[in-house]
Amino acid sequence: MDSPEARSDQLGGWLWRVGGTAVSNGAAKGVLLVGTLLTVPLVLDSIGNEGLGVWLTLVTVTSVLGFADLGLGNGIMTAVAGATSSRSEEKIRSTVAAGYALLVTVAIVMLVVLGAGMAFVDLPSLFGLESPDADLSRGITAFLVLFLVGLPLSVTEKLQWGLQRGYVAGVWALAAAITTIVGVVAAALLDLGLTGLAIAYAGTPILFGLCNTVWSFAWWRPDLRPRPAHVRRSQMRELWTIGALYFVLQLSAAFAFAADNFIVAMTLGPERVPDLAVPARLFGLVTFALGLLLRPMWPEYTRAISLGRVSWVERTTIRSLVLATAVAALASAGLLLFGSALT
């Protein structure tokens, strides 16, 4: 049986944390999702149908490329959430430092692999482009490079989620999303091509991630500021072990949600990608809604299990799944009935 104090904490603190996290992160993802859809006509006028197909493919692929961090991001969040139950700041500092060390290494290795691979593989051909202009080639490269450069900055966001302060990460994400869409609109109106669009879409989150990191360790939690001396081999091994499990899960999800656009681009041509991508983005609202409901519970479950509150985890999981199923059914039915009017 959970103690009265535990029940009070569960019904009070965790509910506010989850609610704030869901609202702030939901607003951020909603702005990015809806903003991307609303800017399609502008992007089409700026870079044409073929360029739009490449653009939508890049946006779709990078939105599900969570596995690019090899599962380390979710491993960091899980380890931090577990450490909060014992209030071990030393363990949290070690986790953050090890996370930075690993993700910086991963990003550097992937950038080297990307650079070497470009000498043997024509990136535009992967998008079904037979004779792309220079801007499309530069845009694809810029998009992928900026995505990899931003990987280490995700440590701060995962720390905030692990500390059950995902709403803090959500506020920063919302600011980044709004600025990103403004940047995309500006790039399209100024005819900066796919390169300009890539810098606006993939570069803006890097800027805000850097600002979030500086703010977090300079003012919010300076006690958790990572230093080389905090890196522990044991913690790095733990993150690799946890991350490997998440990597398999994320990789499966990435293939499930991103492979379609690539298949269309390579078989029918990039100009046909919007025919699939735009309706798919609408149905992505269903997954989006489920993520809002379930993802904020992740660190709460980890912390509760560490405290031995298994019965609460079981009850809350069942209720969450029932609610998620109902939301998915209603959202899918609504899109089937009225989705054609939106595309």
pLDDT tens, residue by residue, 55-107: 888 887 776 666 778 889 889 988 898 887 666 788 899 999 999 999 999 99
Residue 240 to residue 319: CA distance in whole angstroms: 32
Axis crossing angle, helix 72-84 with helix 233-267, rounded to the nearest 10: 140
In our burial notation (b when 16+ CB lie closer than 10 A, e otherwise), range 148-174 reads bbbbbbbbbbbbbbbbbbbbbbbbbbb
Residue that is written with structure tokens 């991350």 in the block: 243
Whether the pLDDT of residue 11 is over 50: the answer is: no
Please name which of 54, 63, 28 lies closest in space to residue 253, comparing C-alpha atoms.
63
**How confident is the model at residue 325, as a pLDDT?**
84
Bigger pLDDT: 118 or 28? Answer: 28
In the chain, count H helices and then E strands: 15, 0
CB neighbourhood size of 88 (10 A): 13
pTM over 0.85: no
Share above pLDDT 70 across residues of the chain, in percent, rounded to a whole number: 87
Mean pLDDT of 45-59: 85
Token duo for residue 280: 């798919």
Token duo for residue 129: 């482009």
133: left (phi > 0), else alpha (psi -120 to 50), else beta?
A: beta
Model confidence band, residue 3 (pLDDT cutoffs 50, 70, 90): very low
